[in-house]
Amino acid sequence: MKSVILDVDTGTDDAMALMLAVAHPALDVRAVTCVGGNVSLEQVVANTLGILELMGAGHIPVAAGLAEPLIEPAQDASYVHGSNGVADIELPTPTRSVEDVHAVELLRRTLAESTEPITIIALAPLGNIALLLRLYPEVHAKIERIVFMGGAVGAGNATASAEFNIWHDPEAAEMVLRSGVPTTMYGLEAFYQVTIDAETIGELASSTQPVQAVLGGLLSHLASISVDESRIVGAGWAAIGDAGTVCAVIDPDGLVLRTAPVEVSLAPGPTRGQTVVDLRTGLGAGGAETHEQESHIKVVLDVDGPRYARLFLEAIDAVSSA
Ligand code: BDR
Ligand code: CA
């Protein structure tokens, strides 16, 4: 079993990521930390507790973290996720509250107390993780890897050049990328490739089983929005988004990876929040060799979408019929 902590801004696809992480027998979810992003921090916390309650995972500690990015004001994405962030679905009322410590403190404590290294799966703007790494360098060695959903090799979604999680808090993302902790970037190229077809979504949505019905509702919402005609919306299909990042941790053989330096554009203007991935293999400016650059960062270039979709559905099916 791999020990993981999830950092989330729940969000339709963060909700699916949480469902998979707690349902899959290969993962031991040690804590969940929340950050403002897709919706307000307060709503993220409510959604996170609601999803864990639905999944019978009310024992996993949850803490609230940063409400706002490090520098700029928060800008939510309820235009994608629905006004409550989870497609306006009503989740079970949680029977507990969050821990009375900040998310950064729960991260520190969970890492410090662990006897084995933990993988951090970060599915949101990276403020909590940036502060953890800056405040508590002594826990770096306890982090096996940070696997984050964010960035893109090519086009963005929040802007032409920037993906939402990085665009929302570019300084935090750059701090994480510069930390030297082994990191995997699961960017938009992968994000849109793990999809569920219309027929399966219909079956889930009409299920009488609560977990399946909620999943069907989330996917139906994603299938119906017209954010990006070419990618999210097809003939009734939907991408599982952040949940694919959890698949990547469970089953890394489904990934095509490339070790490469990545920097975040912090400049104001049209490139702010862009992840600049250095994939050069020839000679750069001044004749500098570029093909053997050192990096602690692996970038996901491609993903086996059908393999991850199967993994996701099988895990949900197993928990629903248990
Ligand atoms: C990312 O932003 C949010 O909308 C999703 O939850 C995902 O983490 C995609 O750009
Ligand atoms: Ca997210």
Q: Does the ipTM surpass 0.90? A: yes
Residue closest by Cα to atom 4 of ligand 1? 38
Q: Is residue 285 part of a domain?
A: no
Q: Is residue 29 part of a domain?
A: yes
Q: What is d(CA 250, CA 255) in angstroms, rounded to the nearest whole number?
A: 11
Q: Is residue 41 part of a domain?
A: yes
Q: Is residue 84 part of a domain?
A: yes
Indicate the pLDDT class of residue 315, thresholds 50, 70 and 90: very high
pTM: 0.96
Residue 152 CB–ligand 1 contact under 6 Å: no
Q: Is residue 287 part of a domain?
A: no
Please give all residues whose CB falls under 5 A of ion ligand 2, grouped by chain where several chains appear. Answer: 9, 11, 14, 123-124, 242
Q: Is residue 311 part of a domain?
A: yes
| Two tokens, residue 132 | 């953890």
Q: Is residue 26 part of a domain?
A: yes
What residues form DSSP beta bridges with 120? Answer: 5, 146
Task: Please report how the helices 12-23 and 305-320 are oriented relative to each other, as an axis angle in degrees rounded to 10.
Answer: 70
CA distances from 114 to 129, 143, 157, 196, 296 (A): 17, 10, 36, 36, 23
Report how many domains make up the chain: 1
Q: Which residue has the higher pLDDT, 5 or 225?
A: 5
Q: Is residue 9 part of a domain?
A: yes
Indicate the pLDDT class of residue 59, thresholds 50, 70 and 90: very high
| pLDDT tens profile 246-270 | 999 999 999 999 999 999 999 999 9
pLDDT (mean) for 277-283 = 89
The domain in which residue 168 lies consists of 2-279+292-320
The number of residues making up the chain comes to: 322
Residue 12 CB–ligand 1 contact under 6 Å: no
CATH code of the domain covering residue 79: 3.90.245.10
Q: What is d(CA 112, CA 165) in angstroms, rounded to the nearest whole number?
A: 27
| pLDDT tens profile 114-157 | 999 999 999 999 999 999 999 999 999 999 999 999 999 999 99
Candidate of 20, 147, 185, 242 to mutate for ligand 1, largest count of ligand atoms within 8 Å of Cβ: 242
Residue 165 CB–ligand 1 contact under 6 Å: yes
Predicted pLDDT at 228:
52
